[in-house]
Chains A and B, each alone.
Chain A
Amino acid sequence: GQQLNQSPQSMFIQEGEDVSMNCTSSSIFNTWLWYKQDPGEGPVLLIALYKAGELTSNGRLTAQFGITRKDSFLNISASIPSDVGIYFCAGHTGTASKLTFGTGTRLQVTL
């Protein structure tokens, strides 16, 4: 099935640094979502974006819905050790439609 391309695939950063990751698609989506998955757990919704150009924050997390509706980015400011995990973007064209997941960005934070 279709997947969204995420970059980087993985990143090692130091505690306190800012992190940026993005997600691109060949198709247009009406909604972009960002999830975090801890090892052995299901994904947890972090941020939902519904309008092209929209910039939304959730604590230290900020995400934007690209103007073309084919991309999105997620920033994490002042990273902490519990930010470790895999971050997935996901998109859909309506709540009645299925969710397409990105390839994931694995984040590791060192002290």
Chain B
Amino acid sequence: GAVVSQHPSWVICKSGTSVKIECRSLDFQATTMFWYRQFPKQSLMLMATSNEGSKATYEQGVEKDKFLINHASLTLSTLTVTSAHPEDSSFYICSARAANTEAFFGQGTRLTVV
């Protein structure tokens, strides 16, 4: 299957700082990338959908100024958590999809804000 790489796998940051998470499709061009958030023992909740070269579409209740998404190329999307707070601590997962294919997921990033 296609490979989606997420970096870093885990990160610890101080409250008030910003953290950037990268999502790369290694062997295909991703026309669409998705960002999810997952709390312990819960399902994946979609945060936003991004298409290369255009603004991300955020799900209801997700603050676009807090979770900045950039999809600058067909192989890279980034999620920046700005002014992080402890309640932002979570498991963040990206997925990438080429035209007419199913989505493949990255390995996830565990964010801990202290």
Picked from B1, B44, B45, B106, the residue with its CB within 8 Å of the CB of A45 is: B1
Task: From known contacts A1-B59, A1-B60, A45-B1, infer whether A98 and B49 are also in contact, taking CB-CB under 8 Å.
Answer: yes
A24 on the interface (CB 8 Å rule)?
no
**Chain A residue contacts of B108, Cβ below 8 A:** 40-42
* Contact (Cβ within 8 A) B6 A42: yes
A81 on the interface (CB 8 Å rule)?
no
* Count of chain B residues with a beta carbon within 8 Å of a chain A beta carbon: 29
* Contact (Cβ within 8 A) B34 A99: yes
A76 on the interface (CB 8 Å rule)?
no
- Chain B, 88-101, contact with A by CB distance < 8 Å: what is the 0/1 string? 00010101010111
15 CB contacts below 8 A, A to B, read: A1-B45, A1-B59, A3-B43, A35-B105, A40-B110, A41-B108, A42-B105, A43-B44, A43-B93, A43-B105, A45-B105, A95-B97, A95-B99, A96-B32, A104-B43
